[in-house]
Structure 1
Amino acid sequence: MVDTVAIALLRHGLTIANERRAYLGWSDSPLSAGGEKQILALRDFYPMYEKIHTSDLPRCVETARLLFPDAALVKDGSFREMNFGLWEGRTYDELKGDGKYLDWLEHPMEAEVPGGESYPEFSARVRNGWNEWIADEKGRHVLMTHGGVIRDLLVRFAPVEKAFFDWGIAHGMGYELIWKDRNSLRRGERCTLLQAVPIMANLNG
């Protein structure tokens, strides 16, 4: 159908901080050697997309350039990961003595993050950025972003309802959401089809 809209939500490649299992929100960390190798190995499994949107953080931009080297990128800070404030770059073992951190682990959808964002603040930012972006979109697009952003969008738009933490998103992979027409997307309706991407068959033969 000509009016169909497909948006692939992709997670950036594995970073050095990810390998340490450190909290990584608005601070940044380069892709690890293994992360870069994995992304390059996935390149031939992705189809061509009409437009590549990306979080403005370098790990997403770098991943998008590796996967789609000939594409023009549109960077948007609305699609950054949640801001972990004073916990940025620190691990569970480094934070487990912090009472505010333990409270956040118990109530992650409500508790405050010192110097960062609460989940409602994060979700509202992503929602606003999404609404501005999709207002006039059609065709097939990519949003290269972060695990938290993808989960938040899937909670809202996946055809089946699942909780935030029930969605798993591997680095360099994600989901393609398909709406039957632009009006369904603009009205904020759930997509009609959801599929994991990439489809692991070489698209170049």
Structure 2
Amino acid sequence: MEFYLIRHTTPDVPVGTCYGQTDLGLTATFDAEAAAILPHLPAGIRTVYSSPLQRCRKLAERLFPGQLLCFDDRLKEIHCGDWEGRPWDSIEPGPLQAWMANRLHACIPGGESYTQLYERVTDFLQDLPPAEGPFAIVTHGGVIRSLLAHINEVSLGDSFDAFPIHYGCLVHVQRQEERLAHRFLHNVKRGEERHRPSLGKLRMTSGNT
């Protein structure tokens, strides 16, 4: 088994917005970000799996023109439910604190937990048919992190620090002896990402027990 994990490029959304399965567009840097990924991809990738959300679909179409794309809902980002599209700092302190205290297992209101994300992503990996050559998966940060945690036997809680994954990230995964191993081929930080409340909001929330 050999495959390439590719995170979508920078989405068109204000920093500090809570989003997961919101179908966001892409910024004006899309062309440059996609071009930076291409030199690291080998020829001969015939099978491409992708999240159906447009930020992944458009990148898959750009990197693999003319190829049939296999869309799978299990490759979507975590479902942020009632918080989708809201600024993190506008979310009510009570539900926010309850989720942050146990975000691995607690569901976002109307959405899912990180454990549920992990389970559907690993189900996807286990359901893959045998491939004759390398294949690609164009997806989201949470999905890539879950896959890397799984193949490296890293706990989901530790995976947030263990695997920094920036927009346009490219990871090569290949079987070596009895296990899968990974290496980052492209992972350049472009601007700020903030997928949680600001520090001031966190301090305020922690005091509202």
TM-score category (smaller protein): 0.7 to 0.9
CA deviation after TM superposition for structure 1 residue 53, in Å: 0.8
Give distance in 1, aligned partners of 2:40 and 2:144: 20
Structure 1 match to 2:170: 174
2:22 equivalent to 1:27: yes
Q: Distance in 1 between matches of 2:132 and 2:56?
A: 23
Cross-structure match for 1:203: none
* 1:25-174 matches, cutoff 5 A: 25-48=20-43, 49-95=45-91, 97-133=92-128, 135-158=129-152, 161=154, 163-166=158-161, 167-174=163-170
Partner Cα distance (2:159, 2:131) in 1: 26
Q: CA–CA distance in 2 between the matches of 1:161 and 1:197?
A: 20
Q: Which amino acid aligns with 2:3?
A: I
Report the Cα offset of residue 174 of structure 1: 2.7
Q: Which runs of 5+ in 2 are unaligned?
A: 189-209
CA distance, structure 1, for counterparts of residue 132 and residue 19 of structure 2: 32
- 1:199/1:86 CA distance change after superposition, 3 Å: closer
Deviation at 1:199, TM superposition (A): 9.2
Distance 1:42 1:9 in 2: 11
Structure 1 segments unaligned to the other structure (5+ residues): 185-189, 201-205
Q: Aligned equivalents of 2:134 and 2:120: distance in 1?
A: 23
Matched residues in 1 for 2:127 and 2:71: separation? Answer: 13
Verify the 8 A CA contact 2:166 2:187 in the aligned structure 1. Answer: no
Q: Is the 8 A contact 2:4 2:137 kept in 1?
A: yes
User: What is the CA–CA distance in structure 1 between the aligned matches of 2:68 and 2:186, rounded to whole Å?
Assistant: 20
- Give the deviation of 1:31 after TM superposition: 0.8
Q: Over residues 9-52 of structure 1, what are the superposed CA-to-partner deviations in whole Å (9 max), with x where a residue is unaligned?
A: 110111012x4332221221101112343223432332222211
For the Cα contact (< 8 Å) 1:46–1:199, is it kept in 2? no
Q: Which residue of 1 aligns with 2:182?
A: 194
Deviations 1:42-66 (A, max 9, x none): 3233222221111111110001112
Query: AA paired with 1:6?
Result: E
- TM-score scaled by structure 2? 0.79
Normalized against structure 1, the TM-score is what?
0.80
Amino acid of the structure 1 residue aligned with 2:185: V
Shift of 1:108: 1.2
CA contact (8 A) 1:82 1:148 kept: yes
Residues 12 and 172 of structure 1 are in contact (CA less than 8 Å); yes or no, is this contact kept in structure 2? yes
Greater CA drift, 80-89 or 166-175: 166-175
Distance 1:199 1:115, change over 3 A: closer
Equivalenced residues, count: 184
Helix, strand or coil at the partner of 1:33: coil
Q: 1:125 Cα deviation (Å)?
A: 1.5
Amino acid paired to 2:141? G
